[in-house]
Structures are given as structure tokens and as C-alpha cells.
Amino acid sequence: MNQDWRDFVVTVDQRGLATLASAASAAVESLARPTGPRSNLTPAALHELIWSMEICPEAGSDLATVLADLGEVVWKHGVVPSDPACVAHLHPPTLIPAVVTELAIAASNQSMDSWDQSPSGTEVELHLMSWLAHLIGMPTSASGIMTSGGTASNILAMTLARSWAAQRIGFDVLKTGLPEQASRWRILCSDQAHFSVQRAAAQLGLGRDAVVAVASESSGVLSVAELDETLTKLSDENLEPIAVIATAGTTDLGAIDPLHEVGQRARDHGAWFHVDAAVAGALLLSDRLRPQLAGIEFADSVTIDFHKLWWQPFNASSLILSDAQQFDLLRVKSNYLDRGDELEGMINLVGRSLDTSRRFDAAKVVATLRTLGRRSMASMLEHLVDVALFAGERIEGNPQLELVAPPASVMCVFEVRGANRDDLRRIQQRLLARGEMVLGRTEIKGRPALKFTFMNPLTTFDDVERLIAMVTAEIDS
């Protein structure tokens, strides 16, 4: 095919933009697909289909054809988070303002590491981070950074907590590595906390065993009595809690730990107080739901994922610090990027990040919030909480099913009476294989369970009835 590569370089002149717009419209058309949360292609058939696609032919093809092929081969066989039967994970449908802004983000390709690669982008991200810190209720010293996800935000928070613990005993951990005392350092969180806490401890050289899991109550919230007991035990053993983590919205049950109480314990023991609000941080937008997060404002750091209940395309997370100066604990000077001799006001965000080159994801979040406004975002969230409560009521009234705990945010976790782990696996896998439902399956304190995670604000109460009927039909079959 006779094409000129010059036509594919993004330019912002009239011709370049017209070419981009027409390609974008072909990409949008390629998304059209039959209904259902996923196709019923077997893993083997899917493998064959994808691997038959030539990755890099000697000569290229027309873009419209390539995009149409992607539609047939890839999008048609992906999952559809906007389908009400896609309820396994914290995997949201996305919002149009964010998705179209992604195109602008990619086309303009600002890089967030240095001011000279993203002058306006740097200010937008800082503005968004300050707004979020204010929403949390933190002091004006607070600010943050966007990261690729809740895992990255939690790892960054624990990196800072570790450097802070070292700094307090006169150690520059970035330069000399861990001090001897580090073998006594512990990170406390509930047994329902996300596994990224363990990953952080492992990456930071503290080891997974440095994470002490505090027993949670049956509702999934951290037990403060157990936390007190654990802290006493650590002190008896001459071990030092350097960080205490509360989870606001656990991955399975959506439970929100008692933030005030956990924060108080962290302060009493001189430990860094981190709140992992990757899931429930969005509740801050709702006057009705926000009180559930009382105490979050006292955190040293907070993780909030925009790519969960803010309906942003991946990647979009943030870590907010109550004292943004603490990011200095991370800073590594580089000769070419962050020299420290820039003009006044030229901030290089690389100083706050574990990444160097970084996407301007703040733009899509801002576009979304400005388009929908706080009230609409809050309504969407409140609806999903109501959907989960409704599912809880229906499951409670169903003799074949049993709730593991009352829904605390947007999840509903339940057992099937008389069914074991294998039975649940069969139910979930059959629904997945037939492409009828992407259902969650987990284990809470050794109890195998199924899970609905309601992320789609278009989900209706009728959809919930239908999902429950589909599960019970599968039990009976």
C-alpha cells in the first residue's frame, strides 16, 4: 500500500487535526460489538485468533482497516465494563469527557516529569492535587502526585514512611540503604488490606514479614481492640511500628476502617498514618456518604484511585501528603532533569514521583469533574451504594444464598448454602465461559464466596434481580 509516513505524525495544524479526527472516528466505530460482558470464545480459540494477527508487516496497511481488524479481533473479545453483568472487579466503565480527553492527552503528549516538558500540565496536576487535598480536609501544606494505580500509590506512601523512619534516627536511607534498626520496623494494617502493602514491604527491603496483619471484624473493618493488642505486643517485643494503614473501602467487602481511631493509634506510637482510600475515596464527593470517611483528614498520606469510582480510564491514581515537603524524602537529583537551578515557579514533578516520564492523566480527571460537576458524580456513587444495598437485601431474602457481611459500599459478597470452593468455582467459570457474567470469586477469612462489585452507574435494580437469578439458576443446573 502506498502511504506516506509523514501523514502519521501528530501535528496540531488544521490538516493534522482533521486527519486525527477522522482516524478517531474510525477507532470509535471499531468498538461496536455484540452485547454481553464478554464473548464466549474459548481461551485456545482466542489465543489462535490474536496470534494470527501479524504484528509488524513489512509494509503497512490502511489505518481504517487496521482499526476495523482490531475491532473484530480484540475489542469484540475483550470484557465490557459497561455491561451490568460485568461485576467481578473494581473495573469501571469510563466517562466520555475522560475518554476523549485521553485522545488529547496522547496527541499533545506532555510529560509530567519536568516543567519544560509540561508547563501547563504541571500546574493542572498541582491544582487538581490541591483540590483533592482540600476535599480530604487536609491543611494547605498538603499536595500530591498522580501515579499509575493504587498499588503504586501505596508503594510510594510506604517508601516515604520508611525514609521518614530512617531520617528520624539520622539515616539517609536513599544513600546508605537500610539501617540496622530496620529489622525491627513493622507496618500495621488489617488482614483485609490490599496485597500492595505486602508488596511495598517486600520492595523496600523490609520483607513481607514486616507487615503485621491485624484481625478484622466480621464486617471486614479493622478491629481497634486487636490493633491495641498488637501494638502492645510489638512494644513488648521491642519492635517499632513505623506505619499504620487504614483501608477506606476494602477490596472485597468495601469496608471502611475506623479512621479516627486508627489515626490516633498511629500518632500515639509516632508512626506514619496512611489511608488506602483507593476504593472509597470517591465518597468524599457525596454529602450523604462523606461522613463515613471522617478522620481521613488526619492522615499523613492518602491513596485515591480515579480509575475506580471516579470512572476514569486506567491509569489514574493519586497519593496526597498532608505535608508536601515530605516528598523531599524521595528526591534524587539528576543532571538533566531536576537540577534545582530552574527559574522561580518552574516545578519539576519528577521530584515527587517514582516514575520519570509520566502521562498527563490529570487532564482527563479535570475534564470529567468540570463536565459532570460534583453533584452528578455524587449521585452516580450514591446510586451504586443503593444498588449494593438492594443486592444485599435480595440475597438476604434468598434461601439459597447467604451474605458474608452487609454491603459497606459498592460490593456484595455472598456464599451459596451448602456449596464448597469447587462448586463456586464451577458457577463462576461457567458463567464466564459462556460470556454471560463476569462474576467475582474470593475468600473471606477462609470462607469461599461470590462477589458482585457494582461499578456501573447505569445498573438498575432489575439488573440486580437478573444477576441473582442467573447465579441461582447456575446453582440448580
Contact residues for ligand PLP, defined by CB under 6 A:
90, 149-151, 154, 194, 196, 247, 249-251, 276, 278-279, 305, 317
End-to-end CA distance of the chain: 54
315 preceded by cis ω (within 30°)? yes
3-state secondary structure of 54: coil
In the complex, minimum distance from the CB of residue 89 to ligand PLP, in angstroms, rounded to a whole number:
7
In the complex, minimum distance from the CB of residue 93 to ligand PLP, in angstroms, rounded to a whole number:
16
In the complex, minimum distance from the CB of residue 87 to ligand PLP, in angstroms, rounded to a whole number:
14
**From CA 101, how far away is CA 371, in angstroms rounded?**
12
**From CA 41, how far away is CA 451, in angstroms rounded?**
23
Nearer Cβ to ligand PLP, position 196 or 223? 196
Nearer Cβ to ligand PLP, position 154 or 459? 154
Nearer Cβ to ligand PLP, position 407 or 435? 407
3-state secondary structure of 223: coil
Residue 45, amino acid: A
**From CA 459, how far away is CA 83, in angstroms rounded?**
8
In the complex, minimum distance from the CB of residue 385 to ligand PLP, in angstroms, rounded to a whole number:
16
Nearer Cβ to ligand PLP, position 110 or 250? 250
Greatest C-alpha distance within the chain? 76
Nearer Cβ to ligand PLP, position 97 or 281? 281
In the complex, minimum distance from the CB of residue 111 to ligand PLP, in angstroms, rounded to a whole number:
21
> Cβ neighbours of residue 123 under 8 Å, at least 6 residues apart?
none
In the complex, minimum distance from the CB of residue 86 to ligand PLP, in angstroms, rounded to a whole number:
15
In the complex, minimum distance from the CB of residue 370 to ligand PLP, in angstroms, rounded to a whole number:
23
Nearer Cβ to ligand PLP, position 246 or 377? 246
| Residue closest to ligand PLP, measured at CB | 150
**From CA 341, how far away is CA 260, in angstroms rounded?**
41
> Cβ neighbours of residue 259 under 8 Å, at least 6 residues apart?
246, 248, 275, 293, 294, 295, 296, 298, 299
Cβ count within 10 A of residue 379: 16
- Please compute, for residue 255, the number of CA atoms within 13 A of its CA located in the half-sphere on the CB side: 23
Nearer Cβ to ligand PLP, position 150 or 263? 150
